[in-house]
Amino acid sequence: MNKVFANAEEAIFDIPDGATLMVGGFGLCGIPENLIAALEKKGVRNLNTISNNMGVDDFGLGLLLRKGQIRSHKGSYVGENRLFEELVLSGKLDLELIPQGTLAERIRAGGAGIPAFFTPTGVGTLVAEGKETREFEGRTYVMERWLKADFSLVKAWKGDTWGNLIYRKTAQNFNPMIAAAGKITIAEVEEVVQPGELPPEQIHTPSIYVHRVFQAVGEEKRIERRRVRKAAA
């Protein structure tokens, strides 16, 4: 039951070239930056990533993009990474742009074992091209399929040695659903505690979904876009 690894490098030891990875976070909030840095150092290539966004040019998944380690991406937002934009527009990176709510539900469906569902989002747009549509109670819906991954990489606030996880405030974002949708889920946490130290009613991800845990070091809490008001005269 002890799932603790010494560091990020050991935790990703078996992630191969061509793997499909789900990566938690929203912008730069709640991203597993130690795991991403370890992947960059390992040099795995041709990765297929699933995440809300691609970070920024010099942080988050942007690090892997800069090194040419990502082959394709499924996500809902691309606005903060100029290199990502350039690669997509030039046809050098395969992108599936997914409405954010649909992305969240496709990931949740993957973790819940639901292979497909219907949603009105995207009907009549490019999103629905080539997909089955069906009418329910006079409204047209498009069928979307689940998303799953070989490895899910998540960031939590606290985790015990069994793999129970608690996320802190907005860093919860995509992490809980991504944790459930991977064949192997790796969690970097700010603090590793012993079983029984986490209040059961506060646990967001039960240990059954988590396979590896390690305590992150040297974390950098960055702000994606800083906006400040001018001081009053």
Is the residue at 13 inside a domain?
Answer: yes
Is the residue at 51 inside a domain?
Answer: yes
Residues 134-185: tens digit of each pLDDT: 999 999 999 999 999 999 999 999 999 999 999 999 999 999 999 999 999 9
Indicate whether 79 pLDDT > 80: no
Is the residue at 72 inside a domain?
Answer: yes
The rounded distance, in Å, linking the Cα atoms of 196 and 210 is 17
Band of the pLDDT at 2, cuts 50, 70, 90?
confident
Tokens at residue 52, please? 């809300």
Is the residue at 130 inside a domain?
Answer: no
Is the residue at 177 inside a domain?
Answer: yes
For residues 31-58, average pLDDT: 95
Q: How many folded domains does the chain comprise?
A: 1
Is the residue at 133 inside a domain?
Answer: no
For residues 192-209, average pLDDT: 97
What's the DSSP call for residue 209? G
Tokens at residue 175, please? 């992490």
Q: For position 231, what pLDDT does the model report?
A: 74
The rounded distance, in Å, linking the Cα atoms of 55 and 106 is 21
Give the pTM.
0.92
- Strands 20-23 and 47-50 come out as parallel
Q: For position 224, what pLDDT does the model report?
A: 61
- CA proximity to 7, closest of 193, 218, 177, 166: 218
The upper half-sphere exposure of residue 179, i.e. CA atoms within 13 Å in the direction of its Cβ, equals 33
Is the residue at 232 inside a domain?
Answer: no
Residues 25-44: tens digit of each pLDDT: 998 999 999 999 999 999 99
Q: What CATH number is given to the structural domain containing 101?
A: 3.40.1080.10
Indicate whether 233 pLDDT > 70: no
The rounded distance, in Å, linking the Cα atoms of 189 and 205 is 12
- Full residue range of the structural domain in which residue 211 is found: 8-118+141-215
Q: For position 115, what pLDDT does the model report?
A: 98
In the chain, beta strands by DSSP E: 20-23, 47-50, 70-75, 94-97, 116-119, 133-136, 139-145, 149-160, 165-166, 182-193, 212-215
Is the residue at 124 inside a domain?
Answer: no
Show Cβ contacts of residue 189 under 8 Å, excluding neighbours closer than 6 positions. Answer: 155, 156, 157, 158, 159, 165, 213, 214, 215, 216
CA distances to 39, 131, 189, 203, 212 from 159, in Å: 22, 40, 6, 9, 10
